[in-house]
Chain A
């Protein structure tokens, strides 16, 4: 007698639940723990991780139960088409807010390149400041000679593209190919489930997860290379700052996206998703396309130009 499922004019309002308030508690513990850790490191103290771990554990348990619950409700047919449209709006505008988060860092990159660095080098109305403080500074991008190298160590080299001719030996180029192809494979996985092709779904989704992991591996290798061989770190001036914050937050989003896709893969093996109902997968694939687009912007503006 699942009335709600049959009477499509009733909007499904979920009953009270303990998940959200625990998420709020968990995320607060996580951040307070992280803050105590950071502050302890800064003054050279002994960090304590208890609050941090409490946050991680609470969040893991609660988010897992929450998503599980939503999937169960969906299998029981409680949400109607209108509820699913709310999920679609929710996910789309969440991705929009993520775009704006990256926009802030891209804005910082453009501002630094176009204004800050050239003013420090003596251009424009503000030139005089740079001339007084650091007369030897020359405004090149990437900045490998900082205004004050005693405070922000110069890197030996930047990660900038060596020119199109040398791309075959340039790892970020291969990473671009890896991520672009993973966007295609996740699309194939989505098409497969719509055509009720379970084998195709699992294969393409598995391949996407593998490509995501490969991307992260290559990125990790690049970071190691930057820190160990190029001397390029977060502390090497504005180039290192913008490079690592942009690629770092992108890498964090890829990690999250890969994990979400992995969860969808697990669900696919458990027989979830129907040809006409696979929003979990679809949302994950939107998210994946989003991290892909961000990477293309990164490749162009951080690596190539």
Chain B
């Protein structure tokens, strides 16, 4: 038996496996990171196509292309896919590639579990998308799936939607356990917690958020399943339950979820800005504490999504003030990013362009969030396009730009080849213009009263919507530039140096580009130059 084991042992010093089984059976953090990122990109195109269906329908008032019932399925699935199929997997993919390299580890702590957390995703994503082709159509109740729309009045495919959410949750929980075990257990000697790169810190905290709230989401959909199939009355007042209870359980998950989507992007930006400003990150400690406080506050603000649903006055006041408190740690972060750039010798390569756009546009999204937090005015904004503008500003030029920035920043390290800077900039400017053209007008149509999730609208909103639709198509199609640029880099980019960026610090830059299959087989020495001191 020992002979068998020894062959295995030898295997792991070998390179990647052959053919398709390399990807199916891999236990390697880089392969799994790559799988996550490609999966995320494919889903980005799927969810993006749905967004374009929505924007095409809204280009003009009146009903043009799709049936309102199908429009509802598009808004629902666009949201679900972008949240669970695009941003979360992309962030996990980045964590897979970067966390072991940034803390001086050979791989993730639990490599087989890592493979499982990835391979659940295509099945779950496939199941979710397949609901669109089932009898009665796919989920049509909005990505927040409020009861009783998602229980009493739901299409039969909701059963499979529920199971898809269970699978996605299981994947996230396993991924988080793995990331926590890696960060807590596999840091190189000398890499103390307060020397960890900010990206690692933000992911550690994100992983805890995931562990705390994904099970609650599983509980919420489980209660839905029981209400649909087993005649329970959790969300039915006729049996003593309450549909509003669904909203409480959902948003107890949902609000931390938005930080799950954005915190790793905070981490990315905190890596990139110091590199291109050629200065250490301003206020490292306060950045860590700010992320931790945001994570803590995220658990006690959920009902700000429910001000209009009816809540005792004391509850409205509490959730309003608690929500506004989040502006403080967030302000600390924005201040620190700006201060890092202050008097830096800055250059503006593509990752830096995306990072700066992130800081500016995320702040706009943060401000509209503050407006929405104010209970009395939220009564006007609730369920209008102002809300749509708000969360798209934090998610698209926020989370998604964070992912783009990370990809351009680390791609030369991953494949040992430099991307085409001109193409990167083209991608940036088209995305930047597209995103603002799409979402900025929605602030105005929302304030003027245009409701979200409706396929038709009053003539007065026609101009805003036309601009929005034009912007959405610019943004959507410019993502093909990213695809082209990445493929070109992998196939024929110029060789990249090990350090790649002359202002870059951190253990990942001490490895060759591309790095060896197992990043650090022996723990590296953590020097002050490579870690925050």
Contacts from A to B (Cβ < 8 Å): 1-4, 9-21, 23-25, 27-28, 31-32, 34-35, 38-39, 41-43, 66, 72-73, 76, 78, 82-83, 85-87, 89-90, 93-94, 96-101, 103-105, 107-108, 111-112, 115-117, 119-120, 124-126, 129-130, 133-134, 143, 146-148, 151-152, 233-242, 244-245
Cα A87 to Cα B110 with chains together (Å)? 8
Are A107 and B156 CB-contacts (below 8 A) given A78-B9, A238-B239? no
In the assembled complex, B318 has its CB within 8 A of some CB on chain A? no
**Interchain CB contact under 8 A, B22 and A16:** yes
In the assembled complex, B376 has its CB within 8 A of some CB on chain A? no
**Interchain CB contact under 8 A, A35 and B186:** no
**Interchain CB contact under 8 A, A86 and B185:** yes
**Interchain CB contact under 8 A, B238 and A148:** yes
Interface of A, secondary structure class, is: helix
> Closest CB-CB distance, B350 to chain A, in whole Å?
33
Ranked 3 nearest A-B pairs via Cβ: A104-B219, A238-B240, A152-B239
Instruction: Write 8 A-B pairs (CB below 8 A) sorted by A numbering.
Output: A4-B9, A14-B111, A16-B11, A16-B26, A21-B115, A23-B116, A39-B156, A90-B113
Cα A254 to Cα B156 with chains together (Å)? 32
**Interchain CB contact under 8 A, B229 and A116:** no
**Interchain CB contact under 8 A, A116 and B240:** yes
Select one of A85, A112, A134, A147 contacting B245, CB under 8 A.
Answer: A112
- The stretch of B158-166, B287-295, B504-512 in contact with A is B158-166
Interface size, B (range): 35 or more
Which parts of B113-172 form the interface with A (CB within 8 Å)?
A: 113, 115-116, 119-120, 123-124, 127, 156, 159-160, 162-163, 166-167, 170
- The stretch of B192-200, B494-502, B515-523 in contact with A is B515-523
**Interchain CB contact under 8 A, A13 and B518:** yes
Interface of B, secondary structure class, is: helix
Besides the known contacts A235-B233, A244-B232, 12 further A-B residue pairs in the complex with CB atoms under 8 A apart: A21-B116, A24-B119, A94-B173, A103-B215, A104-B216, A104-B252, A108-B234, A108-B245, A146-B239, A147-B238, A151-B236, A152-B239
Closest A residue by C-beta to B164: A31
**Interchain CB contact under 8 A, B239 and A90:** no
**Interchain CB contact under 8 A, A72 and B521:** no
Find chain A residues with CB under 8 A from B110 CB.
86-87, 90
Which parts of B303-348 form the interface with A (CB within 8 Å)?
A: 310, 312-313
Cα A130 to Cα B239 with chains together (Å)? 12
Find chain B residues with CB under 8 A from A96 CB.
211-212
Determine which residue in B110, B176, B186, B233 has the highest number of CB atoms from chain A within 10 A of its CB, and name it: B233
Are A100 and B240 CB-contacts (below 8 A) given A28-B167, A126-B310? no
Cα A78 to Cα B4 with chains together (Å)? 12
Are A28 and B159 CB-contacts (below 8 A) given A16-B17, A94-B177, A146-B240? no
Find chain B residues with CB under 8 A from A10 CB.
106, 521-522
Cα A279 to Cα B7 with chains together (Å)? 25
**Interchain CB contact under 8 A, A18 and B25:** yes
Contacts from B to A (Cβ < 8 Å): 1-2, 5-6, 8-9, 11-12, 17, 21-22, 24-28, 105-107, 109-113, 115-116, 119-120, 123-124, 127, 156, 159-160, 162-163, 166-167, 170, 173, 176-178, 180-182, 184-186, 211-216, 218-220, 222-223, 225-226, 228-234, 236-242, 244-245, 248-249, 252, 310, 312-313, 518, 521-523
Select one of A15, A38, A115 contacting B8, CB under 8 A.
Answer: A15
Select one of A15, A72, A129, A236 contacting B12, CB under 8 A.
Answer: A15
Select one of B12, B106, B111, B240 contacting A239, CB under 8 A.
Answer: B240
Select one of B112, B177, B212 contacting A20, CB under 8 A.
Answer: B112
Select one of A16, A38, A129 contacting B229, CB under 8 A.
Answer: A38
**Interchain CB contact under 8 A, B249 and A235:** no
> Closest CB-CB distance, A196 to chain B, in whole Å?
24
Select one of B1, B5, B231, B238 contacting A146, CB under 8 A.
Answer: B238
Cα A115 to Cα B186 with chains together (Å)? 46
Cα A43 to Cα B136 with chains together (Å)? 13
